[in-house]
Amino acid sequence: MSTRKLFELKGKVAIVTGSSKGIGLAIARGLAEYGAKVVLSSRDQNAVESVAQQFNKEGFTAMGQSCHVGDEDQRKNLVQKTIDSYGKIDILVNNAAINPVYDSLENMSSEVYDKMLNVNLKSVFDLSNLCFPYLKKEKSGSIINIASVEGLKPSLGLGIYSITKAAVIMLTQVQAKEWGKHGVRSNAICPGLIKTKFSSALWKNEAILNQIKNQLPAGRVAEPIEMSGLAVYLASSAGSYSTGGVYNADGGHMTI
């Protein structure tokens, strides 16, 4: 088999959460371009339907299914709708996350703490468990958890977010260790600062942007599409020997 064919995803079914925009959308498009049937998911049904329609118009196979990943019933519904439509699940990309407050730990309320752990961590745990029976069927399932460099090296004002992402990294490694015998791989991608609406409070801040340009080896903020190639590798046979990995895509952030 050629190396090129290792990246092909024809016949595979992928769920990507938080995929109506940003990193999730870029990854969903990348998987679709390599042949996967993609289930696009976010809170807004109209948003994911619009993206799915565009994908299908371009010759890809996609469907949109709303899901608030912090809601247990909606998580179950997302998985069931995928099975009803495509009959299988090969790839799960846990991308959806929130960071509603930039502040120090002592100013964080219990409500914010619980909300962030529910959306950023519990949803990853639960969706992975819901998909596990289907992922192990073909002994070639792939879970890709979108963590963050904040889970490796925290920044001021992002304390609870960093805690949740550090836990996602450990969850990824536990999944890899326990589920490898079932042919299920689990890996984490740790993006740095990416030009998305989610992180706009940072990259739209001129002082922070100048600091990035002066200190970061790459000297710039990344575009969402720069995360898609790594996701395709981890989802495909090209990454068949990669599990439990923590992959930084951060422009050198972890070196400074």
Which positions are catalytic? 161
Do 215 and 192 form a contact (C-beta atoms < 8 A)? no
Q: How far apart, in Å, are the Cα atoms of 174 and each of 76, 168, 188, 243?
A: 22, 10, 11, 10
Residue 202 contacts residue 208 (beta carbons within 8 Å): yes
* Residue from 70, 114, 69 nearest 92 by CA: 69
Spatial CA neighbour of 248 closest among 150, 136, 142: 150
Contact yes or no for 118/215 (Cβ under 8 A): no
Report CA dihedral (54, 56, 62, 64) to the nearest 10 degrees: 40
- Greatest alpha-carbon pair distance for the chain in Å reads 56
State how far the Cα of 128 lies from the Cα of 143, in Å rounded to an integer: 7
Element counts in the chain: helices (H) and strands (E)? 10, 7
